[in-house]
Structure 1
Amino acid sequence: MSSTSRTVTLLPGDGIGPEVIGAARRVVDACDLGISWETCRAGKAVFEDGDATGVPDETMASIQRNRVALKGPLETPIGFGGKSANVTLRKMLETFGNIRPARIMPGIETPFSDRPIDMVVVRENVEDLYAGIEHMQTPSVAQCLKLVSERGCEKITRLAFEVARSQGRGSVHCVTKANIMKLTEGMLKRVFERVATEYPEIEPKYILVDNCAHQLVRVPEEFEVLVSTNMNGDILSDLVSGLVGGLGIAPGANMGLHACIFEAVHGTAPDIAGKGLANPTAAILSAVMMLRHIDAFDAADRVEAAIALAMQNGPRTGDLAKRGEGVGTDEFTNAVLDNLGKEPAGWVRRQHQPLVLPDVGECETVPKSRRDIGCDLFLEGRVSPGEIGARLEELAEGTPLALKIISNRGTVVYPLTGAPTDCVDHWRCRFLARDPKADLSYADVAALMVKVTQIYRLIHLEMLLEVDGKRAYALAQGED
């Protein structure tokens, strides 16, 4: 009987996308839920039509209207087109959270087959280094801005705890590199510690990302939910997929308040596209996640169990079978369809409840006080530390600012340290107010910049902020 009547946007994708998404659609249709599909275009063909976004307006409108999409992998052509169509969808629809479950399946042989692995990686999806804000600072030095916001951390942290709550899990690990990046990665840790108090039934845990990678291949069964910033989560989620059999069985979802897009995380595999060889498991499991999102829990459980039974008894596609024993996409999909209503002996269904997507409202910190106490001038120059340091001290005379240090690639090189630092043509020159109680104006900084830029090329300026009496910027290596 039909229990769910709604329209879902269907994006077949590129390469093997139409094959695996076609398989997922067959399985969902067999559940008789009353779902109708609105097929739309995105990816390679759209780029070739001259649309640099890879996502036509009518596709975006469909997703916004239906609020749920099932998507195949999309190709970003090399040499033409704009940013990735995947990135366009995430950014324009503000799907801030990426959810990647990983569960060991019966019958799949990996070094971890005997371990009860069952976890979820929850990754911030729109900011961090993946905001894609890059510049060539000098012809030989590149910069990528790592932007981590309190709002972004609040949303992804709450999503992780809601995932844990919806799946009856007992703990959430916050994964960061806050020991090195104390402001950006530290932001996630600080927000996590605050938000955790609102979920007393779930144990909050904290781990550094390098140790997390280490422990995931030692004791993966000890992890339930991981939450991290964008790049860390991207790397860890692929690692976790590898523990249970690879990207061919790795589902995913990009979640937002305005739309949710469910997709396999593997690529387009153009070498086997159109040959009927692709493994549709990841796409079908992504559809399972979609079914749970629309509260079709029983159907989702039946499909997941049917896949597990196919993995246990066969047949399997070539990527998971012994050499020469693999079957094609259609044959494996038929096996899943035949298994609906069955499950492997000892299979345990995880009880799912509706997932609440967090709407955090206003969450930014409002300081009691703030003042500008200095600036970092980033300058280009093929000079020695002693030369640029002496010249900048001279130029700063008569201004409200005094040179404190110069660093090169994060290490103090002036005042001269005697260390054998290999300098490049990119200098961070830190100036602080001569009056420690002053609140500098832009005019104060501009007066210094006028002098400095008569000699050196200015790359960019960062104001140095004090918030509630505390320094709100990082010290260079070797700076007091």
Structure 2
Amino acid sequence: MTADATPAPKTKVTALPGDGIGPEVMDATIKILAAAEAPIEWEFAEAGAKAFERGVVTGVPRETLDSIGANKLALKSPLETPIGYGGKSANVTMRKYFELYANIRPVRELPGIQTPFSGRGIDMVIVRENVEDVYAGIEHMQTTTVAQCLKLMTAPGCERIIRAAYGVALAEERQSVTVAHKANIMKLTEGMMKRMGEKVAREFPGIKAGQVIIDNCAHQLVIRPEAYDVIVTSNMNGDIISDLAAGLVGGLGIAPSSNLGDQVAMFEAVHGSAPDIAGKDMANPTALLSASIMLLRHIGAFDVAEKVEQALFVTLAEGRNLTGDLAPRGHGVGTKAFTDQVISNLGRNSAMKSRTYKKLELTAWPKLTAHMEPSTRELVGIDVFLETDLDAETLGKTLEEISAYSPFTLTGISNRGVTVYPPTGGQTFLVDHFAARFMLKHPISLAGNTAEGQPEISYLVQRIGAKFSWMHIEKLQRFDGKDAFERPQGEG
């Protein structure tokens, strides 16, 4: 550098060293990036076990949230959620706080890492919705024997994750996007993902669009994983199949991911904190290093990202100075020796080329409460969930009497989603949690999202409450002439 040369500007990134082996793999990653002259300035912050220990119930102190919020970027090592104290997962806390809705998990066969699938050319990306679905954590004990978890999926949530998947396909010059869902069973929630996939696909005619039921997707990932390019799916499905896919190419120990939102991006190693080997110079930093390569591409430092990735590929391919989890017959070296080997290979190129990358563009979502009013809205009935140890027939007769002089008619009772009244002849095992469906004798037309129909509902529920303990009520509505609810198994 000449005396008057201006140093390249650096991007400030919050570094979360984490727990267990986290500080070791973070130190190794930062050392390699520094040797590669990555344009990054680090700001260290705390999250995880130490924060829980000093009473931070989320595991993420306010100063850490402020650092990430200001820098808009974070690189995170594994965090622990201690057993016996602490609240929500620190990882989930950050995803929710910064609305990191897109989890991007690249899955690629790496040189020198032998698996039963080596040589198949696996190279895909799992795009997982990251903040909705059952991971919203909305759970209630309905009775002492029945627990409920609400699965919430939204049209904007489905749309933005599917658009993110197509953004990944464009940025990495990939050929296809497959929506994986369980719409054959959950026709409203998972069906929303399926329908949104079909809608968004029409805007990207140059990319092949596909659909697959999630259990078949898991099957096909084992049978022919090389057939997939980009898979996009809901939160729970994505959690499962992304780990499955990582297993095809060597496991979670080498798996990176990014968590992206409109304002903040967080990059992390997927594996755990491995406290049993912490501080023993045995940790493999490949996953966090790979996550840092994703970070470099996110900030547009494509040349440095490729330089680091190629040095990693050369190190893995040559098989010298690998950590024990990667070395043949366990004859491995320590974290520091592996780190030094990668640094010594900076500037060399592997036979495995890096993919072509462009900047990933995500659709920014407006800061407003998302709402879409249907052309018509009708209230057609209610489901009342109640607790009783009565048999189904006695309960049915009692509820028919209760509703006889109300605007509603009892049309059926279900138990764990199966119709038990009127009797169908089935052999359903009963628990003390029943859903009674009452349909209005005369549907009520609703003008917008109003309180119309409330007196009718209150009248019936008050009468039911005089004899039974009820947990919650679901309105049965019809939007634009279509039922906005599902029927229990066995309902006529």
TM over 0.5, shorter chain: yes
Pairing partner for 2:143 from 138, 144, 158: 138
- Kindly report which structure 2 residues correspond to 1:267-306, keeping only aligned pairs within 5 A, or say none: 267-306=272-311
TM-score (norm 1): 0.98
RMSD over aligned CA atoms reads 1.3
Determine whether 1:464 maps to 2:476: yes
Amino acid at match of 1:84: S
Q: Offset of 1:416 from its aligned partner?
A: 1.1
Could you tell which deviates more after superposition, 190-199 or 397-406?
190-199
Determine whether 1:320 maps to 2:326: yes
CA contact (8 A) 1:105 1:308 kept: yes
CA distance in 2 between counterparts of 1:45 and 1:201 reads 49
Q: Secondary structure at the match of 1:323?
A: helix
2:449 corresponds in structure 1 to none
Q: Offset of 1:437 from its aligned partner?
A: 6.1
Amino acid at match of 2:486: A
- Kindly report which structure 2 residues correspond to 1:48-197, keeping only aligned pairs within 5 A, or say none: 48-197=53-202
CA contact (8 A) 1:138 1:380 kept: yes
The unaligned stretches of length 5 or more in structure 1 are none
Report Cα offsets for 1:445-471 as digits up to 9, x if no partner: 110111111111101110001000100
CA contact (8 A) 1:316 1:327 kept: yes
CA contact (8 A) 1:141 1:426 kept: yes
CA distance in 1 between counterparts of 2:344 and 2:323 reads 16
Amino acid at match of 1:341: G
Q: Offset of 1:3 from its aligned partner?
A: 4.3
Change (3 A) 1:249 1:330: same
CA contact (8 A) 1:154 1:360 kept: no
1:479 corresponds in structure 2 to 491
Q: Offset of 1:4 from its aligned partner?
A: 4.8
CA distance in 1 between counterparts of 2:258 and 2:8 reads 22
Amino acid at match of 1:22: D
- Kindly report which structure 2 residues correspond to 1:406-417, keeping only aligned pairs within 5 A, or say none: 406-417=413-424
Q: Offset of 1:34 from its aligned partner?
A: 3.3
The unaligned stretches of length 5 or more in structure 2 are 2-6, 447-451
CA contact (8 A) 1:4 1:33 kept: no
CA contact (8 A) 2:378 2:443 kept: no
CA distance in 2 between counterparts of 1:35 and 1:349 reads 21
Pairing partner for 1:401 from 408, 424, 438: 408
TM-score (norm 2): 0.95
CA distance in 2 between counterparts of 1:422 and 1:162 reads 47
Report Cα offsets for 1:15-48 as digits up to 9, x if no partner: 0000011111111111213321100011110111
Pairing partner for 1:337 from 340, 343, 353: 343
CA distance in 2 between counterparts of 1:85 and 1:454 reads 44
- Kindly report which structure 2 residues correspond to 1:352-431, keeping only aligned pairs within 5 A, or say none: 352-361=357-366, 364-431=371-438
Amino acid at match of 1:323: R
Amino acid at match of 2:473: L
**Aligned pair count?**
479
CA contact (8 A) 2:311 2:346 kept: yes
CA contact (8 A) 1:3 1:33 kept: no
CA contact (8 A) 1:4 1:296 kept: no
Q: Tell me the percent identity.
A: 52
Q: Secondary structure at the match of 2:314?
A: helix
CA distance in 2 between counterparts of 1:156 and 1:433 reads 38
CA contact (8 A) 1:293 1:354 kept: yes
CA distance in 2 between counterparts of 1:154 and 1:44 reads 35
Q: Secondary structure at the match of 1:466?
A: strand
CA distance in 2 between counterparts of 1:34 and 1:416 reads 70
Amino acid at match of 2:175: G
